[in-house]
Structure 1
Amino acid sequence: MAYTIDRYPSEDSPRLGAMTLHPVAESVPRARRWFRKFIAPYNPACSIDDCLLMVSELVTNAIAYGRSEDPWHVRVEWFREGTSLRVEVHNPGFPANVRLRHPDAADAHGRGLLLVDAIAESWHSGPSRCGGTVVSFVMADAWPA
């Protein structure tokens, strides 16, 4: 399987990096490893472990809920916006299907967005510029002003 990493954004883009992953379970730990490796040189002050947890949850959801008749990928991109870090996860699923659930204690699934909601400064879902859905989160004060 081929995977791609975009490490060098254009000078006019706030994008720090991006990766394209196959929609398979093995892509979740790969996303964590690559994100850790490629965000480290930027030395963010926010918790990388918190970011890794949220990336894991969003990539897992993207794989579980992405739908397309054609072969497809999960796209993860991360940006610096002033002092904040924004991470986006794109898939070909339907934006209307993204919802914050409140599972019962016995439910084995359904807590991913609850974790993102609890940890991130903010999060958003909607139509992706890549087609399909994007779910993103923002970590405030990732860098000094």
Structure 2
Amino acid sequence: MACMINRYPCEDSPWLGAMTLHPVPESVARARRWFRKFITPYNPACSVDDCTLMISELVTNAILYGQSDEDWVVHVEWYREGTSLRVEVHNPGFPAGVRLRRASANDAHSRGLFLVDSIAESWHSGPSRFGGTVVSFVVADAWPS
């Protein structure tokens, strides 16, 4: 199975959806497609294109930097917090390794968190409840108040 999606949150829950992805390059495109598909019914006022770009960058980083001696997966979850959208990307990597880097003009990589930092209202990294690392971002005014 390439991934698993949970898409039926409780009515009173801020949880909107989740997906579990294998750490393979094809999962980045799946994450974009599935987020777009499952966020659309909630009719967000924010740019879904911006959100899918940030998810793409964070899933790519999770796949590149996730580490485990056993089989592992990347968890992506999204929540409504008042009028904001929060997206979390979890992997088994070490939390202290997440940092914003400024790429030089010649670098082909190292722009993911810079993009998230530029687009999102805020972002955070730390220990994941699944073990490893979570990197999350918040998009303000994703829904009318």
TM-score scaled by length of structure 1: 0.98
2: CA distance, partners of 1:12 / 1:133 = 27
- What is the aligned partner in structure 1 of residue 55 from structure 2? 55
Within the alignment, does 1:138 sit opposite 2:138 as a pair? yes
Distance in 2 between residues matched to 1:127 and 1:10, nearest whole Å: 26
Tell me the amino acid that sits aligned with residue 23 of structure 1: P
Q: Which residue of 2 aligns with 1:68?
A: 68
Q: Output aligned runs, 1:27-46, within 5 Å.
A: 27-46=27-46
Distance 1:16 1:79 in 2: 5
Residues matched between the structures, number: 145
Alignment match, 1:87? 87
* Structure 2 residue matching 1:4: 3-state secondary structure: strand
Please give the per-residue CA displacement for 1:16-37, whole angstroms capped at 9, x wherever unaligned: 0000000000000000000000
Structure 1, unpaired ranges of 5+: none
Identity of aligned residues (%): 79
Shift of the alpha carbon at 1:124?
0.4
SS of equivalent residue, structure 1 residue 10 = coil
TM-superposed CA distance for 1:4, in Å, is 0.4
> What's the C-alpha RMSD, in Å, of the aligned pairs?
0.8
Paired residue type of 1:138: V
Q: How big is the shift at 1:104?
A: 1.1
Aligned to 1:115: 115
Gaps of 5+ in 2: none
User: How far 1:103 sits from its partner (Å)?
Assistant: 1.5
Q: Over residues 71-97 of structure 1, what are the superposed CA-to-partner deviations in whole Å (9 max), with x where a residue is unaligned?
A: 000000000000000000000000000
List 4+ stretches of structure 1 deviating above 3 A. Answer: none
1:12 offset after TM fit, Å? 4.3
Tell me how far apart the structure 1 counterparts of residues 2 and 112 of structure 2 sit (CA, whole Å): 27
* Distance across 1 between alignment mates of 2:24 and 2:99: 22
Letter paired with 1:92 = P
Q: Helix, strand or coil: the match of 1:138?
A: strand
Aligned residue for 1:100, secondary structure, equals coil
C-alpha separation in 2, matches of 1:62 and 1:2: 16
| TM-score, normalization by structure 2 | 0.98
Determine the C-alpha separation between the residues in 2 that align with 1:115 and 1:3.
26
